[in-house]
A and B are shown apart, each in its own frame.
Chain A
Amino acid sequence: MTESPRPITIVIAAMGGEGGGVLTDWVVKAAEHAGFLVQSTSIPGVAQRTGATTYYVEIFPVPIADLDGREPVFALYPAAGDIDVMIASELLEAARAIQNGFVSPNRTALIASTHRVYTIGERSDMADGRLDEERLFDAAQELSKHAVLFDFRRVAEEAGSVLNAVLLGALAATPALPVIKRESFVAAIRGGGKAISSNLAGFEAGFHIEQSAKKQGLALQNRENPKEVGRVERLLQEVKDDPEPVREILGHGVRRLAGYQDLSYARLYLSRVSRVRAVDRTHDNSLIQEAARQLALRMSYEDVVRVAQLKTARKRMQKVRAEIKAAPGEPVRVTEFLKPGIEEVCSLLPGFVARPLLRWASNRGLTDKLHVGVALNTSTVMGFLAIWLLARLRPLRRLGHRFREEQLAIDAWLDQVCGGADRSPELAHQIISCARLIKGYGETHRRGRNNYERIKDSLISPALDGSMPIEESVNKIERAVTAALADPDGVALGDVLVSSGDDVASTVAHAAE
């Protein structure tokens, strides 16, 4: 038995439809071009259908000519701790490779794109189910010998190419594969015969990527401020003594509400915030900050007027065109899918008309059924005019049933926040956080409001009247909010409230399921 060189091992992790197979073929062809024996294998399985797939390549770094007819025994499986190059087309897939032991500090060059393709679990979460990307990123840095972490997808887009070509370029540039020269990779792309020039452009872009330790493109982009109005700025003078983070939120809130309704509504916002300011004894102003944020959102609740405002805003068409990548000069026709129902109509009617109507609909189980589905083409003059006129109903909103209901609910919520702050800042925080349950339209909104009511009745009120210890209620409200966002049917919330024996409604809810 002789001491022999070992194969260079490469794992490629991709998702179905990303071209991992083509990338693997390029690597194989490049190795063959360079005069080496190579083997690849894969488990494409249900590859077309977005599942995670892996490809495994072994290259024997002794020129075929020097082998004297001997052949290495190639393995078909990647082994933990035995991988020279790990290529991942996405950050989570890199993390999966790390979890499988395919990235080791003494050996592996990790080439991974840092963009995210969210899993169905992350996407379908009722609030924010995204994974902690920093953690994945740090693990990638720490466990690899050499890391090339970059938003390769963006690089591909900028180069007018595809992700796999860019990754091939990055592979060609890595020192982990010294035996295969650049020209072999280029020959592999040319030999593929398809989209050669764009693939080569992607390859070039990937080849010249500087190794980057910086995470790309994760920072939130703040939206441009709407056109600033003098009176709004004057109003903001009133809060100039607040610390910067608070002032920033108040600025957003005031501008939002002035646009949503009018200046006096924005003024109402500030006076409501003052109530919390009066009771906030946290050293970092976290109460007022969070309350100001949630309050602005609650006060700008979604209704037809709001939707019409947003859909007719001046910058909207630019955003749409950018989003759908329409070239200059290409006309774009936009169709909106609106389905206003009895609740939406009643929200603008005065209470004495709206309440009986809503009661009637609710008694007959029609709340969900009385809808008019409209597919409205807002690129036409008439279509735009219709929705534009709807936005002009803004002054009427104040007279409507919904406005009144919302203001009462907001004041009640603020009362509880302030009451909670008297007892403990933690309790106030939890009460504030319950507001995140109320969002959306139609059924989503109803569901959120119901969940909020259940938590209020079962936990918040007992905490405020002293019948439940503060610590217990803080803990339970936190769990209840998480549970309310766990499933749309309220099962988890029911379980949490039942397990604490606090929910009278949940037994009924369970029975109804």
Chain B
Amino acid sequence: MERSFKKEVAQLRLGKGEIFSGEGILAVTKALLQSGVSYIGGYQGSPVSHLLDVMVDSSELLDELGVHLETPTNEAAAAAMLAASINYPMRGAVTWKSVVGTNVASDALSNLSSAGVVGGAMIVIGEDYGEGASIIQERSHAFAMKSSMCLLDPRPNLTSIVDTVEKGFELSEASNMPVMLQLRIRACHLSGRFNARDNREPAVSRNKLLAEPDFNIDRFCLPPATYAQEKHKIEHRLPAAERFVTENKLNEVFEGELSDVGIITMGGLYNGVVRALERVGLADIYGASRIPIYVMNVTYPMVPKEIQDFCAGKTSVLVVEEGYPDYIEQAINVALRKGDLQTRVLGKGVLPKVGEYTADVVLEGVEKFLESEAPDKLAAFMPDSALSASISLKARAAELLGAPIPPRPPSFCTGCPERPVFSAMKIVEKELGPTHIAADVGCHTFSALPPFNLGNTMVGYGLGLASSAGVGPNFGKRVISIMGDGGFWHNGISSGVASANFNKNDSILVIMKNGYSSATGWQILPSSKRDRFGGQSGMSIENALKGLGVKWVRSVRTYNVSKMAKTLRRAMTETRKGLKVIIADGECQLARQRRLRPLLKKRLDAGQRVIRTKFGIDDDVCTGDHSCIRLSGCPSLTIKPNPDPLRTDPVAHVNNGCVGCGLCGEVAHAAVLCPSFYRAEIVQNPNLWDRLLDGWRQAVIRALQGLVRA
């Protein structure tokens, strides 16, 4: 795993009266324990990976409480876990990255929601939207609406988040609906503090086992029960949820003196709204606002009565709702129409329709709203427009900088084992011409970015091979699909390999076997060397492929570019039809370095002989064409000013980050680039033989050099 959570685990034990200080997503973890959950599960993904990671490190505490932790192979499996709460009074929580994880889970979620729950069921979703997101941009909101789940969007401070988790379980039980807790990227990574409460031992747990199975056909998703369930949602569950929300004041109203206007905001955007108001002189830093604010900490179901009460007497309100479609704004308009209120609703229009509502965006929306609806008030409190100051500052900056600052896209890490595979692909592409490449989700997705620019489509996790099924038979060359070991176990084994073999697809699959779910923080996979219990899972990709009946399987060490290129070439030109799988075998270099560094340091400190390998470039041999960089892109392969007084183009240069993976030499060879690369092996703590040998060699070399006059 990415890091050790020893300190955080200690915080999970805090009791009443103590202060928890830490990250947002870890506060949620603590809140789950305070809520007495019986089981926790989920699938890793930014920004919620840490929730599971810290749980994996907390096995002792979980054992004490009897809480079961499951790390399923995908979100559908995680969602299906919640079935425990359909029949039994067990609280449970699962987590994943959304919207993609919710997509994967949606079949289970639909059935879960139809049956309804008796134990509180919570789904913690990390809403990966806006700057820093790594997925397609959609809202998770629609899932709550279509399946009738509650959607919580608390104000982004640790106290509110923790309270909302606890209240969320009560809401789930009061309404029989599963609840989704939506946290944006920044809220997950928020640092802050809250007053802890004692952890609650679950009612049902590994320590307090169930004795009798609950049989109730009404909770079983089979007609005719499903018709009754649908009706139950509308007639009982949603009204019960609305009642609970109102009675427990889950949504909040902050009154203000300028009562003929108001702002309705999603809870998660509240802080941004207050800061914008503060900047235009309409609020103070403690949140006291001159403009009334209605905060929807529950964004589904909405409570029409609360909306109508808030809007009554107001000429206009601003709706701050991130993402599209504008479900909330539409619902507000319907509520006002039904309540026969004439309050004007501004939202998308003064605010952008799509994209993250950052500080500058919200400020612009608030200023535009006030300019349009209450210009006199704006003028009274805000002598200088914060917005125009910010716009002119950016304009001045653009003018001074002259040109837009180039992006710094993510790329493969130094020494990444996946990079050489794409170097090999580039080389083969040059010989055989380009073919269609179906990419997949994982670190390897970066192949689509410079310098490789390899990858034509990417439609979802584990779906690389499946996504080639339509194009493959219609393409003039054999198409190549990529899949990571994470994607393989997530669903690619079935939707990709089994399906392709079943349909006799004639294509090539490259499986990146780096040993971890690397992109999400080195979580363990079924085929990892060690499982999270310290043993071995006994599962391997090779055996799985064999079991699936794949005949053409080659395993190639990724750093061997020549062999990888040869294998790819073979797969492209092989006359036998059928699925050809190349397992690109190389441990994630970051994980490897983390494993090796302490060991090496120990050996060095003990005076033991260690060989350190690093690559270098003779700067007078390099001519500054940078072909090597275009075939590698390694962060440690960079440029520096040309030391040659006659040359101006910068030369290639290997910086100190080099881990000596060997790709540079391989590429120089396989692509016939240039002779400027060298591999240096430094013998640290040399023994007597090393020193004698080196002395003799140096003496001869110096003698030879002495024979030549400069």
Contacts and interface: CB of A to CB of B under 8 A. Distances in A.
A50 B397 CA distance: 25
Contact of A331 (B404, B650, B693): B693
27 contacts: A1-B288, A5-B285, A39-B191, A41-B186, A43-B131, A50-B411, A51-B409, A73-B270, A73-B275, A74-B271, A81-B390, A92-B406, A95-B405, A124-B633, A139-B400, A143-B393, A227-B710, A307-B675, A316-B618, A324-B682, A326-B680, A334-B679, A334-B680, A339-B675, A384-B701, A391-B708, A439-B625
The 10 closest A-B pairs by CB, nearest first: A43-B132, A79-B359, A51-B410, A331-B694, A45-B132, A139-B400, A77-B359, A80-B390, A75-B275, A46-B410
Nearest to B667: A337
Given A73-B275, A75-B271, A135-B400, 19 more contacts: A38-B191, A40-B191, A41-B189, A45-B185, A46-B519, A50-B413, A73-B274, A76-B187, A81-B390, A123-B637, A229-B710, A314-B710, A320-B678, A331-B693, A333-B681, A334-B680, A440-B627, A443-B673, A444-B623
B236 interface: no
Contacts of B363: 79
Contacts of B21: 32
Nearest to A42: B189
Contact of B185 (A43, A49, A93, A326): A43
Given A42-B186, A75-B272, A135 B405 contact: no
B630 interface: yes
Contacts of A96: 405, 408
Contacts of B708: 391
Given A32-B21, A44-B189, A79-B360, A142 B400 contact: yes
Contacts of A220: 641-643
Contacts of B644: 223
Interface range on chain B: under 10, 10 to 19, 20 to 34, or 35 or more? 35 or more
Given A121-B406, A337-B668, A380 B678 contact: no
Interface in B252-283: 270-272, 274-275, 278-279, 283
B647 A488 contact: no
A81 B395 CA distance: 12
Contact of B633 (A3, A120, A249): A120
B504 interface: no
Contact of B285 (A7, A16, A51): A7
A360 interface: no
B320 to A, nearest CB: 13
A330 B683 contact: yes
Contacts of A296: 646
Interface in B655-710: 656, 665, 668-669, 672-675, 677-684, 686, 690-691, 693-694, 696-697, 700-701, 704-705, 708, 710
B443 interface: yes
B284 interface: yes
Interface in A346-369: 368
B690 A442 contact: no
B686 A330 contact: yes
A398 to B, nearest CB: 18
A4 B274 CA distance: 14
Interface residues of A, number: 137
B98 to A, nearest CB: 15
Interface stretch (A125-133, A164-172, A460-468): A125-133
Contacts of B283: 1
A103 B668 CA distance: 43
Interface in A106-159: 117-128, 130-132, 135-136, 138-139, 142-143
Contacts of B683: 330-333
A50 B408 contact: yes
Contact of A120 (B185, B451, B618, B669): B451
A314 B706 CA distance: 9
B410 A16 contact: yes
B272 A332 contact: no
B578 interface: no
B386 interface: yes
A495 interface: no
Contact of A99 (B156, B404, B625, B627): B404
A103 B696 CA distance: 59
A333 B642 CA distance: 25
Contacts of A5: 285
Interface string A434-463: 001001111110001000000000000000
A81 B393 contact: yes
B134 interface: yes
Nearest to B701: A384
A44 B132 CA distance: 7
Contacts of A93: 408
B394 A101 contact: yes
Interface of A: 1-7, 15-17, 25, 28, 32, 38-46, 48-53, 56, 60, 70-82, 92-93, 95-96, 98-101, 103-104, 117-128, 130-132, 135-136, 138-139, 142-143, 220-223, 226-227, 229, 248-249, 252-253, 256, 259, 293, 296-297, 302, 307, 310-312, 314, 316-317, 319-320, 323-327, 329-339, 341, 368, 371, 373, 375, 379-381, 384-385, 388, 391, 436, 439-444, 448, 488
Interface in B578-632: 590, 614, 616, 618-621, 623-627, 629-630
Contact of B697 (A104, A259, A311, A381): A381
A103 B284 contact: no
B401 A49 contact: no
Given A76-B272, A79-B279, A220-B643, A320 B680 contact: yes
A170 to B, nearest CB: 22
Contacts of B450: 120-121, 124
Contacts of B535: none
Nearest to B290: A1
A324 B187 contact: no
A101 B397 contact: yes
A379 B694 CA distance: 8
B638 interface: yes
Contact of A375 (B270, B665, B710): B665
B647 A73 contact: no
Contacts of B626: 123-126
A324 B614 contact: yes
B240 interface: no
Nearest to B449: A120
Given A15-B408, A45-B185, A222 B645 contact: yes
B678 A99 contact: no
A135 B616 CA distance: 31
B379 to A, nearest CB: 18
B446 interface: yes
A46 B191 CA distance: 19
B89 interface: no
Interface centre among A49, A136, A380 (most CB of B within 10 A): A49
Interface centre among A93, A132, A302 (most CB of B within 10 A): A302
Interface in B124-138: 131-134
A104 B641 CA distance: 32
B402 interface: yes
A230 to B, nearest CB: 12
A204 B620 CA distance: 38
A396 to B, nearest CB: 16
B456 interface: no
B411 A101 contact: no
A103 B397 CA distance: 9
Contact of A143 (B272, B396, B407): B396
Interface in B144-181: 156-157
B672 A368 contact: yes
Contacts of A50: 408, 410-411, 413, 635
A443 B672 contact: yes
Contacts of B413: 17, 48-50
B536 interface: no
Interface centre among A46, A95, A117 (most CB of B within 10 A): A46
Contacts of B411: 49-51, 120
Contacts of A1: 283-284, 288, 290
